[in-house]
Structure 1
Amino acid sequence: MDLFQNNKSSLTFRTSKRLALFKGAFQEPGNDEKEKVPRCVWAILLVCEMKLLDGFIKWWAPDGHKNRDTFRIMRVLKEWTNTTKLFIANVYDGSVDEKNTTIESDSDDDVCSTIMANVRERDADKCVITSQSTSMLCDICPDHLLQELSFHKFWAELYGWWKIETVKRWKQPLFPNFPHIEAVETIQNYISLSPVLRKYWEWGDFVLRPHPDHRERLRELKVQVFWLTLQDHCWSDKICVFSKPPRIRKGTTVKLIGFESEELKDLKSGDWITLTTPDPERLPLPSWDLLEFRFIMTIFARFAGKIVPEEGCNQEK
């Protein structure tokens, strides 16, 4: 992925190559309307792979802004956020009251007991980010994407924006017996986080980026913490394709609501955390490829904003 190759300490989305492609397809003197696209289109154009972006531009350039198919992009977002049937406007926006009611859930009971025990052993029964003694298992690829229906809907749609080799890498730890589409439980799809971080992880408020040079490491893996700014926009809102994405600055912190007992004041965007394992064969680290996958999809969903119009959304009338 080109987002990982150049700068290891910050996130780069609007590269000169992307902007050049945008200009060729969307820029037309005196026609500002041609530069406007739905926010979900703008978001995926920032995070998709260059090879697929180039193909998109060549296909759509003759028609400019007309007849853009946003249905498939929205379907990817709905599948990722698990809102295909349940249309929740604030899936990535917990209210103060919601964030004050985070409790230990019973979802860990749904995980194979052997996997659960192995993850806790690997992570020393502590949060891998804060070393808090109270920790909870968190999946990297959401569980609902391991279902057969999602396999056909979600994973197939990714091929339009990421290379076949990339999507295969993302799927390999979960579907190692392809073409059989039954997902397998693997310790590599889990990470231990504190209760508060688990909620922020699920809401997409923070994400971990695996170190570009640690893909083949077995005993340790560096991951970079990034806090993401909430976007008060809707997927269908129009936006100029040349708009800058929200800045994800190094060194910024977030004010955690209602969890004064958990000290995260020193956890800043850009910080590197090292994940380790005492036994790489029996207790493998979280999958580099799955962490990359979650990183990309979380950024994509956060840039796209909220699902449906509501009070406060900057929707065009």
Structure 2
Amino acid sequence: MLGLPEIDKSHRTELLMRLGRALQKQEVSATFWACLQVGDLSALERFVREVEASPRLCKVLSHSFDALPRLWRQKALGEGFSDIDTELSSNHSSGSQASDKLWTATMSPSAADIARSRDGKKCVITGTTCLNPSQIFPLSLLKPKATTDINGSLPNIWEILNLLFDYEHVLQWKSAILQSPDGMDTVPENLICLCPMIHIDWVDAYCAFKPLYLSPDRRELTLEFHWLPTETHSPRDHVSLFKSPSSSKNLQGTGNRYAITADLKLVKSGHVFVLKTHNPVTHPLPSIALLDMAWKLSQIVRLSGARDEDLGGLQKDYNTPHLYNLQAIREWAAESSSYAHKV
């Protein structure tokens, strides 16, 4: 969405041409197209080779890709949202202002306290007061789901990500999630202070943060803010494999969403900001790996053309006790250990 280096763009185009020849068509679902635009080039090359060997494979897998925006956006449906958030979202989408009300978040008080202290109790984007840190990785993805026809038909998000991204890339994301034996809700690295409006825009994938650089001493993390443009198509549309994504360059907002800093300036795409900590051990910065994952997935959600009505249908579990799928976590840990021995 930001413009790829010419050599990467040329390579991706070549791979998409090969995919089109293998499928004997030039149009695919909008969500599948979005995944192809964001996925790692080496993973895309492997995927294209597999499709060339078995074109029917792609027809089956394309439906799994279509589920990815729904799976990721569960952070908006099941984690830390109350009726207050619904009110805020409604007010925000209509352009009116809302007060900085608080929502009930499922997180450790100590982790939230650390994140608040680290970020100075201010939104890292606008500089306005923020008392409730936002989750980077949606904890709902660690919960076992109730057995329903809808949930049972959804693929495992990690299986999809392994098709789109390099194994080492996905492993970094998993390792960041596995860093605490007590659970992700006790990890300040999974929290970042955002005001309610930015929080809502982020979970709706209207904006995202691109991680740029983590200093060697882990005391400074440089990020870049971007409004993600809304595509004209919807997830159910078919688009050309060679359609160019809309650019986020210099956008001052998107879809009637915008943000104003404490000194009354509009926040634009490309805004670079630096998060700092006085102690990376006691007050660690947000995980660069988890921010990278959120950056990739947010782009896929927005490129797919998904709107709120397209992302419904998953079971809402506002009052579900916070339980982790321990079996899945043990399997991820085993994967990580196995890979570590290989290298």
TM-score by length of 2: 0.72
Map of 1:1-317 to 2, 5 A cutoff? Answer: 10-12=2-4, 15-26=9-20, 34-61=25-52, 63=55, 67=59, 69-82=61-74, 96-97=93-94, 100=97, 103-108=100-105, 110-149=106-145, 153-176=156-179, 183=184, 185-211=186-212, 213-214=213-214, 216-249=216-249, 251-254=250-253, 265-306=265-306
Question: Cα distance 1:188–1:224, how it changes in 2: closer, same or farther (>3 A)?
Answer: same
Aligned-partner Cα distance in 1 for 2:259–2:243: 35
List gaps (5 residues or longer) in structure 1.
4-9, 311-317
- CA 1:218–1:101: 2 relative to 1, 3 Å: same
Deviation at 1:100, TM superposition (A): 4.7
Determine which structure has the larger helix proportion and give its number.
Answer: 2
Query: Aligned AA for 1:50?
Result: L
- Counting aligned pairs with the same residue, the percent is 21
CA distance, structure 2, for counterparts of residue 190 and residue 264 of structure 1: 25
The residue type equivalent to 1:104 in the other structure is K
> 1:59 is aligned with what amino acid?
E
**1:36-76: CA deviation from partner (whole Å, max 9, x where unpaired):** 11111111011111122112212223649983532211232
Structure 1 pair 227–261 and aligned structure 2 pair: CA distance change class (3 A): closer
Root-mean-square deviation (Å):
3.5
SS of residue in 1 equivalent to 2:286: coil
**Could you list the per-position Cα deviations for residues 59-101 of structure 1 after superposition, in whole angstroms to 9, with x for gaps in the alignment?**
2236499835322112322211229999xxxx9x967348655
**In structure 2, the residue corresponding to 1:15 is in which secondary structure?**
helix
Number of matched pairs: 288
> Structure 2 unaligned runs (5+)?
79-85, 146-150, 311-343
CA deviation string 1:252-295 (max 9, x = no partner): 31276698796663421112100001111100000010110000
Task: Please give the alpha-carbon distance, in whole angstroms, between the structure 1 residues aligned to 2:133 and 2:98.
Answer: 18
Counterpart of 1:207 in structure 2: which amino acid? A
1:234/1:308 contact within 8 Å kept: no
Structure 1 length normalisation: TM-score?
A: 0.78
The SS at the match of 2:222 is strand
